[in-house]
A and B are shown apart, each in its own frame.
Chain A
Amino acid sequence: MPAAAQFEIANGTPPLIKLCLMNSAPGHLDGEHSRVHRCQQGDPEALADLREAHHFFLGNILRARGASVDETEELLADLWGDCVPANGEQPSLLDKYSGKCPVQGWLATVATRRWIDLKRKQTRRGETTRPEGGHTAMESLPAAASPDPDDVLVDLLRDSLQVAFAACPAADLLMLRLVYLHGLSQREIMRMWGWSESKVSRKLSQAMQQIEQDTLANMKRKDPWLVLAWQDFVDLCETHQIGFL
């Protein structure tokens, strides 16, 4: 039996979960990289182990982000299938894994962007449907190139965040930069602006909250079916920043 056929599909209602950068202790990562390497070679045992270790988590992540049970099953079946190299014709999806972040976070990001890509295609199909005619306008259109699924998630994160940053008052953004990027203390900010320490603290907190709210609202406007908590959003940004592919 091919390794991909041994994979089962997760089911059930997910608990509230949070994607975090998992255990990244050197020893843990060494073992993980070794397993991924064996998967890339097509080792069925390693592939089954990988699926066993991460399938439930990935199912929960997709469900928590708004995917239905059927969509989750479909996405994960494809994901695990793509992890299996096809006799030199098609490399394993895992060949794209750089090893710079834990494989679980990487797989969750791949699954999420595939889910976004799938939903957008469904939405586009829905928008071009003409029920009264019994056929869709899509059928009469020339085939258009789909956007690269690798870019779908980056585009969403970037666009949502950019708009939020642009809406943030320049003084607030400057204060955030000075404190969180250049390491100035709140007392130093207090002196510069001539404010009290509590006012500086409040302003920093409000500015971050505003960026959070605006970013999530921008994302919701673009993809209303996507459920992403703020920490998920930040974790996805971090996964990409540290060298996703």
Chain B
Amino acid sequence: MPNTFEILTGFLSRFVEEVEGRESPDLPPEARDKLRRFARGQLPASDQAELICQLNDHPDWVATLAAEARSLRDSDGANR
């Protein structure tokens, strides 16, 4: 069963525009590095704010950020 946020974004993506993209193949290397560090909790707060603004403009990068965070599950047990 979809959660409320999923229903709302699903509705918007159907009737407005793409609000949640797929993993971007042409992500700039610098942005990819920042996403990786953000996922690991190694990005300073000032850089976080800047990256979050960029993510707002590029919703397709969010999938990459999520994939980076998930990739750490087996290695450090963050999800246990």
Contact = CB atoms under 8 A, between A and B. Distances in A.
B7 A234 contact: yes
A143 B40 CA distance: 62
A238 B2 contact: yes
A48 B53 CA distance: 56
Nearest to B72: A188
Contacts of B49: 171
Interface in A164-213: 165, 170-171, 173-174, 176-178, 180-185, 187-188, 191-194, 208, 211
A192 B63 contact: no
B24 interface: no
Given A192-B38, A192-B39, A174 B11 contact: no
B5 A180 contact: yes
A241 interface: yes
Interface stretch (A87-95, A105-113, A155-163): A155-163
Nearest to A175: B52
B11 A238 contact: yes
Interface residues of A, number: 32
A161 B66 contact: no
Contact of B79 (A171, A182, A188): A188
A148 to B, nearest CB: 14
Nearest to A157: B11
Interface string B1-24: 011111111111011100110000
Contacts of B38: 192
B41 A184 contact: no
Interface residues on B, range: 35 or more
A178 B14 contact: no
Given A184-B66, A192-B38, A192-B69, A241 B10 contact: yes
A241 B33 CA distance: 35
A154 interface: yes
A180 B69 CA distance: 14
Contacts of A171: 48-49, 52
B15 A240 contact: yes
Contacts of B5: 176-177, 180-181, 208
Contacts of A208: 4-5
22 contacts: A157-B15, A158-B12, A165-B8, A170-B56, A171-B49, A171-B52, A176-B5, A177-B62, A178-B62, A181-B5, A182-B62, A182-B70, A185-B78, A187-B79, A188-B69, A188-B73, A192-B39, A192-B41, A193-B41, A238-B7, A238-B10, A241-B11
Given A182-B70, A191-B40, A237-B7, 12 more contacts: A162-B16, A173-B56, A176-B5, A178-B69, A181-B5, A182-B63, A182-B66, A184-B66, A184-B69, A188-B70, A191-B78, A238-B7
